[in-house]
Structure 1
């Protein structure tokens, strides 16, 4: 129950157990072909969007967005936590102007605040970044509403969907988003090693002259992606071959389950976990239900050391994640609930957490967490 990497389905793992697959082999080209096409569907994009699968992870996908910027461009970063701040750290390494608007821990930046902030710049903001689900706190930003408010005031809207794609409703086309990105190890639930993103035709216009470096410059990758989608091997730099084979299998399983069903499953599991936490009397980091995500829940403690909770619950066979938001240091931990997670995982987590909290001396309503989650599910 970590926030990533997630537990991996054995069929997904076994799909990568091949010893003689090269980056020009038919098996690999076929896997890339399928994965690129399915990535559009997963992102709620249509044929006009260009999909990319590049080495690295969520951060490499984020940094590749510099492929859309020229020297002196203005960027507005909307940050709800640690990984929203990462955009600022990335862009600060390049010759562009960066402004960051931040929310307090447990909240998201309101759409009207983002609109006001961008209007202050007089329509001169080239690119706005948003984080769909902030992994450090579990906060979900209302992307659709934000896009409606700011679409006319910026050239490019970019969304970090690292902790949302595959578990939350994502509609790149309908929401008029230019770049939607994610990573292989979160809700898609394959091993880490790939950044995945789709770019609109509007975004592609800005690839030609940019401030990006070499390896993560999407201009260097686009011909590879287009060739692979046409069934032809191509090379810029070596892609994570065996991971792509696993990615194809994961996408096949997602297709078999149905994206809508997968989202509903995540919503049910996350809601059940929060019901259990509330029954125990524990405080959730997200301050309002509209900010709850399907993938991550931050849990505050009042007496015990959260690191002791993580250590003790590992002995019960369940792994949770440490808190990383500096404003909440030593006050919380995180539960990840994404990927191949199910209702039995939710019940096991709450049950083990009750035993651990009682043992460590955290004041809880012992037994009420499991009862609350069972009542909710029945």
Structure 2
């Protein structure tokens, strides 16, 4: 029974409200129906609010995942354009794997494990060489490390044509102000902090970015945003439109998630995520375990990587399910088998954080990890009570 009543503290997909799931239980609804068009229209308008942009930014909601949103960025690039990838880890590196499939020139700037890319080094790089596009990762899902996006963009804005931010593990839980910060393309996915099921890549693009989309592009067919642009514009005008079959029921669920975000208030949502993250970290550190993220300023609101002292990560992941909690495996090659990830985004609450810390304590004790048993839960509770 405990295993069946599972708390999903994963990095995505995340625990989903029943009413979000129920919103997808629609019978015989076509993609050109008034009901669906209205839901899509609502989602596009709410997408702008999520990224804190106005009508000068074009929203896109396309079938796929965060990776589909990432690859659609090739729509803004022409042959032999020069790109700089500033990567905090595994998913930042994914930009390189994407861009190398296209006739582009790609440079790479990485970071130490557990740290973000040096803003000084990024600025130095773009001052020396001219780049058509630079990619940044707001929260690196493989480590839980947060890049200071506002500061980074401010330092490089005058030297780069287009700036892209991967906000897959940040948007909806971290402060995001795409227009105020001067970000041209900001992207995310439905299954993370937004709290909807997987299946949608979501992004906004500035006027400057949309100007570049008019020229020749290296993009393929399905993820060429020029094919999706008429659909987005028609849907926002309340007109049915088609390029490829949209995930109809996932859009209804996204619309319900947006309604709940609206009810909570985006500022309140960000504060809730920040509190839950601090509760988790208080518990983990009090047990005597280390975090993957090395500096407090790089701690994220959505993912915490936990380094294990003795036991293997796969043993923890297998055993903790028996305690009714599911965590995510660590995927960074430099720490393979030595850490697990706790995802705390979407509809997560301080109560969920305490349950998770309790399950981690019991699991690690069973497996023989040397921890301060009970101190994690006490510290988590104390943080909730005292802030």
Which category of TM-score, normalised to the shorter sequence, fits these structures? over 0.9
Which residue matches 1:283? 290
Is the counterpart of residue 81 in structure 1 residue 99 in structure 2? no
Q: In 1, Cα distance between the equivalents of 2:213 and 2:248?
A: 26
Structure 1 stretch 21-30 or stretch 112-121: which is displaced more? 112-121
Which residue matches 1:337? 344
Give the number of aligned pairs. Answer: 376
Which residue matches 1:155? 161
TM-score (norm. length: structure 1): 0.99
Is the counterpart of residue 255 in structure 1 residue 262 in structure 2? yes
Is the counterpart of residue 40 in structure 1 residue 48 in structure 2? yes
Which residue matches 2:5? none
Is the counterpart of residue 349 in structure 1 residue 351 in structure 2? no
Which residue matches 2:231? 224
Equivalent in 219, 224, 237 of residue 212 of structure 1: 219
Is the counterpart of residue 180 in structure 1 residue 182 in structure 2? no
Which residue matches 1:245? 252
Partner SS state of residue 341, structure 1: coil
Is the counterpart of residue 70 in structure 1 residue 95 in structure 2? no
Structure 1: segments with no counterpart, 5+ residues? none
Q: In 1, Cα distance between the equivalents of 2:186 and 2:247?
A: 21
Q: CA deviation at 1:297?
A: 0.2
Equivalent in 48, 64, 67 of residue 59 of structure 1: 67
Q: CA deviation at 1:104?
A: 1.2
Q: In 2, Cα distance between the equivalents of 1:42 and 1:151?
A: 22
| RMSD over aligned Cα atoms | 0.6
Equivalent in 205, 217, 224 of residue 199 of structure 1: 205
Q: CA deviation at 1:364?
A: 0.5
Q: CA deviation at 1:120?
A: 2.0
Which residue matches 2:171? 165
Which residue matches 1:7? 15
Q: CA deviation at 1:277?
A: 0.4
Which residue matches 1:359? 366
Which residue matches 1:101? 109
Q: In 1, Cα distance between the equivalents of 2:53 and 2:334?
A: 36
Runs of 4+ residues over 6 Å off in structure 1: none
- After TM superposition, list the pairs within 5 Å mapping 1:130-141 onto structure 2: 130-141=136-147
**Deviation per residue, 1:287-329 (Å, 9 max, x gap):** 0000000000000011101111111110100000000000111
Partner SS state of residue 174, structure 1: helix
Q: In 2, Cα distance between the equivalents of 1:333 and 1:287?
A: 15
Q: CA deviation at 1:117?
A: 1.3
Q: In 2, Cα distance between the equivalents of 1:50 and 1:266?
A: 27
**Deviation per residue, 1:338-375 (Å, 9 max, x gap):** 00000110000001111111110111111111111111
Partner SS state of residue 326, structure 2: coil
Q: CA deviation at 1:118?
A: 1.3
TM-score (norm. length: structure 2): 0.97
Partner SS state of residue 180, structure 2: coil
Q: In 2, Cα distance between the equivalents of 1:288 and 1:26?
A: 50
Which residue matches 1:190? 196
Q: CA deviation at 1:27?
A: 0.8
Q: In 2, Cα distance between the equivalents of 1:83 and 1:183?
A: 13
Structure 2: segments with no counterpart, 5+ residues? 1-8
**Deviation per residue, 1:259-304 (Å, 9 max, x gap):** 0000000000000000000110100000000000000000001110
